[in-house]
Structure 1
Amino acid sequence: MSVPTMTETVAICAYDVLLPERGVAALVGDLQIALFRTYDGAVYALGNHDPFSGANVLSRGIVGSRGDVPTVASPMFKQVFDLRTGICLDDPDVSVPVYRVQIDSGQVLVSLGDD
């Protein structure tokens, strides 16, 4: 697979393979993306790299919420990240990349650009 350009939208997987409240990792070129489907059916995409541990493990995190904020807690040191913004709720100076997600014809598409 060639490395996608940073403005490309990439089909990652079928929506139906994503289980509610679980994460999965996807490799797009050299980029690791963590995808999460919440119970309400929303899908979120973050960078899979945990900035606190340095490991690519966020897709293995615990999906939940703080109030109305959908979250994932890192499986390493348990820092919690907002699935919508990528901001760490325990240390707001730290964040992970967030990618725009859309569902089209049952496929999960992730935009790797800044749009």
Structure 2
Amino acid sequence: MHRDTQASAWTAVCGVEEIVPNTGVCALLQGQQVAVFRMNDGAESRVFAIGNYDPNAEASVLSRGLVGNLGERLVVASPIYKHHFDLQTGECLEAPEHSVPTWPARIEGGKVWVGA
């Protein structure tokens, strides 16, 4: 479900410092809610962008979920039914048929950019 990064236009959604480390925020990108997460490994930040809509709970809540890891996978746990979504692939670990889309994301010039 990953969008094509080569043909993408990039949009600045917020300043990287506006996202508390190891949490997410919701951004509106071309009319669609996108959950943007900032993960810190020591001093370095990485960002991920997945769909904000949790199809298991039928609610736009993933940006408010708890982030962490299951083994080697970085995930967010939905705040409603606690299903885990892989931040890199959008896969729902408990119900793969309810996986969410992903977008490329990067940090540049102190801003978080999401490809659309």
TM-score by length of 1: 0.87
Letter of the structure 2 residue corresponding to residue 91 of structure 1? A
Q: Give 4+ residue runs of structure 1 displaced > 6 Å after superposition.
A: none
The structure 2 residue matched to 1:81, chosen from 78, 85, 95, is: 85
What secondary structure sits across from 1:13 in the alignment?
strand
- What pairs up with 1:16-35 in 2 under 5 angstroms? 16-35=17-36
1:28 deviates by 2.2
Which residue is 1:15 aligned to? 16
Which residue is 1:57 aligned to? 61
Can you give the 5+ residue segments of structure 1 that lack an aligned partner in the other structure?
A: 1-5
Q: Percent identity, please.
A: 44
Query: Relative contact order: is structure 1 or structure 2 higher (C-alpha 8 Å, sep ≥ 6)?
Result: 2
Which residue is 1:3 aligned to? none
Rounded Cα–Cα distance in structure 2 between residues aligned with 1:35 and 1:48: 8
State how many pairs are aligned.
107
Q: Greater strand share, 1 or 2?
A: 2
Which residue is 1:42 aligned to? 46
Contact 2:46 2:107 in 1 (8 A): no
Rounded Cα–Cα distance in structure 1 between residues aligned with 2:8 and 2:57: 28
